[in-house]
Amino acid sequence: MEGSSKKMMKRPIEEVYGCDAAEGFNKGKKETVVHYRALLRLSNNEYRLSENDWNLASSKANSIAVQIELLDDIIKADGKFDLTAELEKLKEEHSKRRNAC
């Protein structure tokens, strides 16, 4: 019975490690490369997600900053603020930026 269990164990070991040391080394090296590539892909995906979050937060901050500037202009105008003229001015600036790109 012991002889049959040794035969059964030998085959999976050969499949995992190969027939000789060089083949075992090459299989191990290949598996290691695959493993670390997967880890690098994972960290790269996490970096992209954090970069997207940063860009979203940055655009929100810029939007809020523009709104604060507009509010400051309204407050400084002391009731003489012309909303329609300001809107036209902003549309004109936006079209100039779009044409420049």
**Predicted local distance difference test score (pLDDT) of residue 1:** 47
What's the pLDDT at 7? 56
Q: Give me the DSSP letters along 31-61.
A: HHHHHHHHHHHHHHHHHHHHHHHHHHHHHHH
pLDDT in tens, the chain (101 residues): 455 555 555 556 677 677 788 888 888 899 999 999 998 888 888 888 888 888 899 999 999 998 898 888 888 888 787 888 888 888 898 888 888 76
Domain boundaries, the chain: 2-100
What's the rounded Cα separation, in Å, for the pair 9 and 3?
10
